Copies of this chain bind each other. A is one copy, B any other.
Amino acid sequence: MTASELNLEIRKKKSFLCVGLDIDITRIPAHLHKEPNPVFSFNRAIIDATADLAVAYKPNLAFYESMGTPGMQQLEMTVDYIRSKDPNLFIIADAKRGDIGNTAEQYAKAFFIHYDFDAITLSPYMGRDSIEPFLQFQGKWAIVLALTSNVGASDFQLLNVNQDQPLYEHVLMQAVSWGTTDNLMFVVGATRPEYFHNIRRIAPEHFLLVPGIGAQGGSLDMVVDHAKSSGGGLLINNSRGILYAGNGLDFAEKARKAALEMRAGFKL
């Protein structure tokens, strides 16, 4: 998928919404535990309830890996289900990988070919050769962590390197030269809106994947007002605020309501 195609979906659906599928088995409604694949059943209901309101889904790999083989099988079923539901939905593997070249190639094959994800999140710590193998796949994307939404982001990402330039800016400046606006995005947390201006100065047209709305406390208004590019260029993630909006028989209906409320805030 190209950036233009993704921006077109955003305009058609009037939505920047990315639904984070971070499924904690202990938090899904009790009645689903009787199903053979409870996590997939939960995801399918969430997808059915939100597919016309979201442009992207983002399963976080940790939650599937922690269940072992059955978890990974339900991840595959989930990706396949999203694909069959609407081929224009953008599917992100939230994996935050980052390794040397020959390993990166294996991860790229795993996520882009075996699982058919559109994109994968990557940590920049190991530098250019840990990212480049992901940029070799037509229509696929690397999403590089720049400034994350968690407290620990200030431990290293905000340290000044060279002439008073924080590390995350240096990551952005270097990384924009590694790929294009059609294969490279950045993760920028909603919890640090004071940095959006600097980020857009360095990467005015790149897509930004923005976590941190909802449970982590980021403001949707701040993101929408300050992080958009001219074409749109935002995927705004919400995981827990949608997934666990309800936990009874009507959990999918509640999830839809939460997604609708969020979409209203996009001002599109």
Contacts and interface: CB of A to CB of B under 8 A. Distances in A.
Interface string A135-166: 00000000001001111111111011110000
Q: Which 8 A-B pairs have the closest CB atoms?
A: A127-B152, A127-B155, A66-B110, A62-B106, A129-B152, A66-B106, A65-B110, A159-B161
Nearest to A108: B66
B162 A159 contact: yes
Interface of A: 22, 24, 60, 62-63, 65-69, 72-73, 76, 94, 96-104, 106-107, 109-110, 114-115, 123-131, 145, 148-157, 159-162, 167, 170-171, 174, 216
Nearest to A149: B100
A15 B151 CA distance: 40
Contact of A153 (B109, B126, B151): B126
A66 B105 CA distance: 9
A156 B99 contact: no
Given A96-B98, A161-B161, 5 more contacts: A24-B102, A63-B106, A96-B97, A100-B149, A100-B150
The count of identical subunits is 2
A120 B126 CA distance: 17
A151 to B, nearest CB: 5
B161 A167 contact: yes
A67 B123 CA distance: 22
Which of A73, A102, A106, A157 gathers most chain B CB within 10 Å?
A106
A103 B68 contact: no
11 contacts: A62-B110, A66-B109, A94-B99, A100-B148, A124-B155, A125-B125, A125-B156, A127-B151, A130-B152, A156-B174, A159-B162
Contacts of A171: 156
A129 B150 contact: yes
Contacts of A66: 106-107, 109-110, 114
Nearest to A189: B100
A65 B127 contact: no
A153 B127 contact: yes
Nearest to A103: B62
A65 to B, nearest CB: 4
Contacts of A150: 100-101, 126-127, 129-130
Nearest to A22: B103
